[in-house]
Chain A
Amino acid sequence: MTQVQDLYETTVGLEIHVELSTASKMFCGCRVSFGGDPNTRTCPVCLGMPGSLPVPNEKAIEFTMKIGLALGCKIAEHSLFHRKNYFYPDMPKNYQISQYDSPLCHEGAVEISGDWGTHKVGITRVHLEEDTGKSIHIGGGGRIADSDYSLEDFNRAGTPLVEIVSEPDIRSADEARAFVTDLRATIEALGVSDVRMEEGSMRVDANVSVRLKGAKEFGAKVEVKNMNSIRSVVRALEYEEERQRKALDAGEMLVQETRHFDEKTGVTSSMRTKEYAFDYRYFPEPDMVPFEPAETWVGSIRESLPERPAARRARFAEEYGLGAKDVEVLTSSFKAAQWFEAAAAAYPGDAKKVVNWIIADLFGLLNEAGLELWESKIAPSQLANLVTLIDSGKISGKQAKLVLGGMFETGNDPEKVVAEKGLEQVSDAGAIEAVVDEVIAENADAAGKVRSGNLGTIGFLVGQVMKKSKGKANPQMVNELLRRKLS
C-alpha cells in the first residue's frame, strides 16, 4: 500500500486452542457440554481433590492424533503428560495437566492460498491438555486487575483441549485469515470439535512482530489475545501491524508484552501484567504412564481422514470447473462444501449453474437472515430441482428467484411453491399461440412494422403477450412465435 509499509515485514505465529467434543472430560467421566448450571458437572478428579486419580480419555487421544495427522504432523512414538505448575483459581489442582517436550504430534504443515499465491505454514506441535474453569470477576467493571473478588465455575475444568502451535510463517493478516479458516474447516470435517469461536470452543492467540525488511533478528514478540471470530483476528492483526510500524517509524522501542483486543474499538491494549517470567516447573505427570500409540491405531486413523481443504479446493476447481473465488466461498467451511456437493450431485447439468444460484441468490437470503448455507430450510436436492425446473422451461429465471424466496421461507419443494404462487410458466405452444394471435390483432401497427423489417418493435409485442399471460408465457417461445408469424 504505502511506502512506509514496504520498509517492514510482519511475522505472525498462531497458537490455537480447540475444545474437543468428546462425551466425557479428559481425565474423568463428567459430561462435556457448553454452559449449564454452575458446578453441576464436577467430580473429585476435576475439582482436584487429594487422592483422586486422572485417567486419560481414549477418544481425546484419538481426536488429537486425528488433528495432528490432518495437519501433516508426525505422531510421537513416545509421548508424555506433564504438570504445568501455576496458581490461579480457575485451576483447582494448582497445576494443569498438559504436554511439554514430548507432545502427541509434531512437525506438520498446512498449505494456504490467496492473492499472494500458495504458501506453506509449518505446524510446530499439536498437544493435548485440560481446559480450565470459568472465572467471573466481581467489581471493578469485571476487569481482573480492579475486581474485588472472583467466582469460579468448574463445569469446563478438565474439558479436553488441543493446542496447535504454528511456526512464525504467516506474513499478513490475510494469510492468518486463510490459515485459521483452513484449520477450522479441517477440524470441522474431522468432527472432533464444534470449532465455534464465539462460544470459545476455538480460541486464537497471535504472536505478532514487525521488523525492518531483511533484519536478522525478529522484532519484539507481542502476543495478542481475545479475538473471538476470524474477522476479529484479521482486525486485531491489521491494527497491531500498523501500531508496530508506526512505533518503529517514530524510533520507539517495542517491548515484548501481551495485548488485549477490544472488539468494539478494534484496538489492542497492553494487559498491564507486571513483567515476570513464569516458572511453570514442568515435570512428568506421575499419575499417568507414557503414551506409545500402536502403529496399527495410527494407521487406521490416517486412513479414516477426510479430504483436506487444499485437496478439496483443487478438486472443486478441476471437477466442477469453478473459478478461484467460487472455490474459496464454497470450501471455507466443510459443511458448506458438503451442502454444495449434495446439490451438485442431485443436478444432472453443469454444476456451475447450481453454484451461481447459491452465490448470486441464496447467499443474499442467508446473509439477511444471518444463517449459514447448511442451516437454511432449503435442502441441497431442492435447489437442484429448482435449477432443473428452469432448464425444462417450466419457470423462467425471473420466476425462479421468487420461487427460491418461497422455498427459503417455507422449506417447501420448488414444485409446490410454483403451484402455490401460480408461477407455472406456460410452454404449451397452442396456448401461447392463441395469445400471440390476439396481440397481433390488437396491435396491427406494431405488427406491421415488424413485418416490414423493423425487428426492434418485436420487444414491444413480446411485452404485450407477457402482460396478457400475466408473466407466465415462456418468453423464448413467444419471441419465436412472433418472429415466425410476422416474417
Chain B
Amino acid sequence: MDFALNEQQEMMQTLARDFLGSEYPDKVLREMVDDEKGYTPEFWRKMSEMNLMGLSIPEEYGGVGDFLDLTVVLEEMGRVGFLSPFFSTVVLGASAIIEAGSDEQKQKYLPGISGGKLIFTLALTEPSARYTADAVTAKAALQESDYVINGIKLFVPDAHVSDYVICVARTDEAVNPQDGITLFIVDTNTPGVRCKLLKTIAGDKQCEVTFDNVRISGKDVLGEVDKGWSCVEKIMAKAAVARCAEMVGGAQQVLNMTLEYAKDRVAFGHPIGAFQSIQHRCADMLIDVDGSRFVTYQAAWRINEGLPAAREVAIAKAWVSRALQRVVNSSHQIHGTIGFTEDHILHLYTKRARSHELSFGDADYHLERLVSQSL
C-alpha cells in the first residue's frame, strides 16, 4: 500500500496547480461560465504547449503519462472549477479511440488530440436521459457501404465546439439491448448534424445534438459493428472516475475556503470556527473530502492497472457525488448569507457539483449498479 503520489504524479500535480493557479483565477472562471464556448483557443494552445491533452494517450501518438496522471491533473482542474472541452476530448474522445480504434484511426486522430488540434466529444444520452443500453435509440441504418444516422442526443458535453462527435447508435434491434449498438466517428460539419447549446445552471456547456439523415462512411465506424456497448461501458467507467477526480478537487477547494472563512469571521466575540456546531460540520467535511479522494484514486488505480473495477467505480461515483453535496451544503451554512450571493464564488462550485453528480450516472444509478453487482 502507498497512499502517496509518486514523483511523476507529484510533478504533474505541481505543474497543473501552478499553471491553473496563475492562469485560471475566479475571474476567468466567471468569464468562462458566461462565455458561449466555455474556453478560449489561446488557453487551449497554452495547455497544448504543456502537452496536457496528451495525458493517458500512448507515447507513439504524442501522448504522455497514464490514467493516474490524468486523474491527478483533473483533480487540480476541479479545484479551480476549470471549464473547457478538455474532459470531452481527452477522457471521452481519446479513451474511445484508444479503446476501440483501428491503427489507422488512432494514427488519424490521436496525434491531433494530443497536439491540441482536435476537439472531440461523446454523444451517448438521449431525451430519456438514462445511461443504460436500452436508452440508445438513435438509429444508424446501413445503406450500401455507408450508415445513415437519425436521432437526438441530449446533454452532450461541448458538442458545439467539437470537431468530431463519437455517436453511440443502434444498428440492430436486438433482443438484448446491449447488442446492436455501434460507435461512429462523426465530423460535426457533416450535413444533417445540428447542435443547440442548452442553458445549464452551472454554465457548463452541454448540447442537444440532432442527427438528421447524417451519412457516415463505413470507414468511420469505431470498433466492431453491433458490439459497441462494451466500449461504452469502459469509457463510462473512466469518465465516472475522472469526474470524481474533478469533484474531489472541487470539494477540497470548498473545504479550504470554508476553513479560511471560519477562522476569519467573528460573531459573538469569537471566530465562528470556535463554535462546536461549526467545528463538527468541518470535521464531517474532512471525512467527505478524504473519503472521496481515497475511493476515487482506488478506482483510478484499478483502471490504470487493468484490474476489474466495476465495483470500485460504482462506489466512487455514488459516494463522491453525495459527499460533494454535503460539503457544499455545509460550506453554504458556514458562510452565512455572503455565500448565498452571486458575488461570492461558492455558488459556482455548488452548481457544478450538481452537474457533476448528474453526469455519467448519478448516485442513485451507481448505487443500483453496486447492489445488482453484489446480490
Partners in one complex: no
